[in-house]
């Protein structure tokens, strides 16, 4: 298994780089990798040529256009179409070139806005989506169903992992496109440098959220790689959530900011709660290892060491 050629799509992103680091630690070494400058995954002919030439045995799809509420609201077409093109090309070429295992990574936003909590895999497509990220969610749902269709029709080991909200080293700290946790780290850090000025945060602070350190997702990917999972879709998370207000207090403490927090309730809250039911992965033998405070401390340390060149997404 460890000699097989593995293609990690999106290997330079937060998720893909964590997946690669973890697999290397486990002894995997035969990687085929391309940056987005070298291979545009939205371009069908480029992806076709890549698969014909490289013939990977395993494909891990960690490539996606991602962002928070602001980015999803402002660029709905790109979030729908770019993600559809990326995953359609990867999934179809994997099928045509007899890739034996395909691991598709999605997001908890595929589930309906008011699905029963904690979110179970069976809630998929049972109600309407959260409007602030429905474009991204629709694309990811299509990817999940494409992998399920291949699994059903061709009997191939194509599986989808749906992580909860991710954070960690190599995160995106650009305030126009980042997710809530890295955005808070940057805001509290900059306010501390400015003399502990007030930090303005979106919404009421009441929504409940669950967060998974990216290295734990990487371990779940390795688990899916080394085991044939019996179903087509699995949630990956901690099974523990907290309010955005409590998250802010925790990050404020880790960063060392001593000023005030102002909640702008005119801004959208998003989904009221998103907690994953991770019992299926637990039953198979996978469980997260890194608790939230430890993960935030690690992420903040990485931010401090890389703030001159941290990733800023240009949409």
To the query of whether residue 75 is one of the catalytic residues in this protein, the response is: no
280 labeled binding residue = no
Helix, coil or strand: residue 206: coil
Tens digit of pLDDT at every position of the chain (315 positions)? 899 999 999 999 999 999 999 999 999 999 999 999 999 999 999 999 999 999 999 999 999 987 767 777 888 999 999 999 999 999 999 999 999 999 999 999 899 988 999 999 999 999 999 888 899 999 999 999 999 999 999 999 999 999 999 999 999 898 877 789 999 999 999 999 999 999 999 899 999 999 999 999 999 999 999 999 999 999 999 999 999 999 999 999 999 999 999 999 998 887 788 899 999 999 999 999 999 999 999 999 999 999 876 555 333
Strand pairing category for 208-209 and 242-243: antiparallel
What order of strands is seen across the sheet that includes strand 58-61?
31-32, 6-9, 58-61, 101-105, 157-163, 233-236
Q: 256 labelled as ligand-binding?
A: no
CATH number of 6-306: 3.40.50.720
Is 56 annotated as a binding-site member?
no
| Domain limits, the chain | 6-306
Beta-strand (E) ranges in the chain? Answer: 6-9, 31-32, 58-61, 101-105, 157-163, 165-167, 199-202, 208-209, 211-213, 233-236, 242-243, 261-264, 273-274
Residue 237 assigned ligand-binding role: no
Helix 292-306 and helix 180-193: axis angle, to 10°? 60
Count of CA atoms in the C-beta half-sphere (13 A) of 118:
17
Given the residues 136, 167, 232, 300, the one annotated as active site:
136
Tell whether 161 is in a known binding site: no
Count other Cβ atoms within 10 Å, centred on residue 53. Answer: 8
Kindly give the interhelix angle for 14-25 and 214-226, rounded to the nearest 10 degrees. Answer: 60
Q: For position 310, what pLDDT does the model report?
A: 56
Task: Determine how β-strand 208-209 pairs with β-strand 165-167.
Answer: unpaired
Contact 7, 56 (CB under 8 A): yes
Residue 107 marked as a ligand binder: yes
């Amino acid at each position: 298994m460890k000699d097989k050629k593995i293609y990690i799509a999106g290997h330079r992103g937060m998720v893909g780089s964590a997946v690669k680091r973890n697999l290397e630690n486990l002894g995997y070494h035969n990687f085929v990798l391309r940056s987005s400058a070298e291979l545009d995954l939205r371009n069908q002919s480029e992806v076709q040529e890549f698969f014909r030439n490289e013939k990977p045995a395993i494909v891990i799809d960690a490539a996606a256009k991602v962002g928070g509420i602001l980015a999803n609201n402002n660029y709905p077409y790109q979030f729908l179409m770019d993600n559809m093109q990326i995953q359609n090309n990867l999934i179809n070429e994997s099928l045509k070139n007899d890739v034996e295992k395909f691991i598709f990574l999605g997001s908890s936003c595929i589930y309906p806005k008011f699905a029963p909590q904690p979110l179970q895999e069976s809630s998929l497509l049972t109600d309407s989506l959260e409007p602030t990220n429905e474009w991204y969610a629709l694309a990811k749902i299509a990817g999940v169903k494409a992998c399920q269709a291949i699994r059903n029709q061709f009997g191939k080991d194509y599986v989808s992992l749906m992580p909860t909200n991710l954070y960690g080293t190599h995160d995106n700290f650009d305030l126009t496109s980042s997710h809530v946790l890295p955005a808070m780290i940057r805001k509290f850090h900059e306010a501390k440098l400015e003399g502990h000025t007030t930090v303005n945060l979106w919404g009421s602070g009441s929504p409940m959220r669950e967060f998974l350190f990216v290295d734990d997702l990487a371990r779940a990917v390795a688990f899916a790689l080394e085991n044939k999972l019996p179903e087509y879709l699995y949630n990956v998370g901690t099974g523990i959530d907290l309010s955005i207000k409590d998250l802010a207090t925790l990050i404020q403490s880790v960063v060392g900011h001593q000023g005030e927090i102002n909640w702008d309730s005119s801004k959208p809250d998003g989904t009221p709660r998103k907690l994953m039911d991770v019992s299926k992965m637990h039953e198979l033998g996978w469980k997260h290892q890194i608790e939230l405070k430890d993960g935030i401390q690690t992420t903040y340390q990485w931010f401090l060491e890389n703030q001159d060149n941290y990733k800023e997404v240009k949409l």
